[in-house]
A = this chain, B = another copy of it.
Amino acid sequence: MSKVLVLPGDGIGPEIVNEAVKVLNVATEKFGLNIELDEALVGGAAVDAEGDPLPEGTLAKARAADAILFGSIGGPKWDAIERDKRPERGLLRLRSSLGLFANLRPAILFPQLADASSLKPEVVSGLDILIVRELTGGIYFGQPRGIKEENGERVGFNTYVYSESEMRRIAKVAFELAMKRDKRVLSVDKANVLEVTELWKEVVTEEAKNYPEIELSHMYVDNAAMQLVRAPKQFDVIVTGNLFGDILSDEAAMLTGSIGMLPSASLDENRKGLYEPCHGSAPDIAGQGIANPLATIMSLAMLLRYSLERGDVADAIEAAVESVLDKGLRTADIYTDGTRKVSTEEMGSAVAEAL
């Protein structure tokens, strides 16, 4: 039996997670899966209920689970509260407490949605990049950090730090994943300015020696941000640190024009993982039933593939999503003339049915 914890979170989180659970229930029946589902509060919802964005009970359930399906967190309601209680901190603590160091973010262009991109079709058609972002280290978690008084004024400071072993294990993940793809890995750094990324480049290069079939290249982060706009199809797997990965993976996702479609996985050393859509909690459209549940449904597919080792079920869910797109069903964010606009619930039901 596998334990799956559902953390709907805030904003559109509950709505989209609902649809993914609907699909999971159908998959459970169809494929005879043995899954125990549980649910808990996280983010702003948990702050409201228990004064903490990651309550003890939620963390305990997360530790006990084999995989976590996560919606989204945050919203203007919690912007003004003290730093430690902000919804985002709950997610950061969850990633860190569970050791979810490997964040996989595919940027894939769905042929059915090619028009949605702001880039010319020839630049993005067939796009299929996998960004591997280190998720539990770097400047996100580095100490010391804070705001202090110095010479009569405030000074803000953070620390960007990586140890060799942290770098090595994320490089390994990137190389392993690339072996199942086009065997090309780009490592992104700012080695001409930052010592921490100078070491990053060195360690990744060393680790590559264990993967003689992999073609490894390096790029400065500013150049990578440019090349993603100029010619994104040159990339296969991109590996980088937490902050650069945050920036580049969002940029890459937007190249597809449909961030409402893109899933992500955050994995520990043992294939336990947290799965969430790439997009945020979209408080402006929450509760209206118009959010796109497909990124969350695709995240569920990743959950089945990576943590539950049911690639067959993942494939079936992904095929169901494709077939629904082929039929012309679209939520508002990906709607174009000549397609059929559907609600969050209609979209989820259509995928469940197609499955």
| Chain A residues within CB distance 8 Å of chain B | 74, 83, 86, 88, 92, 118-120, 123, 139-140, 142, 145-147, 150-151, 153-165, 190, 192-200, 203, 221-223, 225-231, 243, 246-251, 253-255, 257, 259
Contact = CB atoms under 8 A, between A and B. Distances in A.
Given A155-B161, A193-B140, A226 B198 contact: no
A137 to B, nearest CB: 11
Nearest to A280: B223
Given A118-B230, A118-B231, A251-B225, A192 B86 contact: yes
Contact of A250 (B223, B231, B250, B254): B223
Contact of A251 (B194, B203, B249, B251): B251
A259 B160 contact: no
A9 to B, nearest CB: 15
A253 B230 contact: no
B163 A150 contact: yes
Nearest to A87: B192
22 contacts: A83-B198, A92-B193, A118-B229, A118-B230, A118-B231, A119-B119, A145-B194, A145-B195, A146-B195, A154-B164, A155-B162, A155-B199, A156-B195, A156-B198, A157-B159, A157-B195, A158-B159, A159-B160, A225-B250, A227-B254, A229-B229, A229-B255
A80 to B, nearest CB: 12
- Count this chain's copies in the assembly: 2
Contacts of A120: 118-120
A88 B192 contact: yes
Contacts of A227: 254
Nearest to A194: B158
Contact of A88 (B163, B193, B253): B193
Contact of A142 (B146, B157, B200, B229): B157
Given A155-B163, A156-B197, A222-B247, 5 more contacts: A147-B196, A155-B161, A226-B250, A229-B251, A230-B254
A257 to B, nearest CB: 8
Contacts of A123: 118
A118 B203 CA distance: 34
Contacts of A153: 163-165
Contacts of A155: 161-164, 199
Contacts of A158: 159-161, 194-196
B226 A259 contact: yes
B231 A251 contact: no
A199 B254 contact: no
Report, nearest first, the 6 A-B pairs whose CB atoms are least far apart. Answer: A156-B196, A156-B199, A226-B254, A225-B251, A222-B250, A157-B161
Contact of A198 (B147, B161, B231): B147
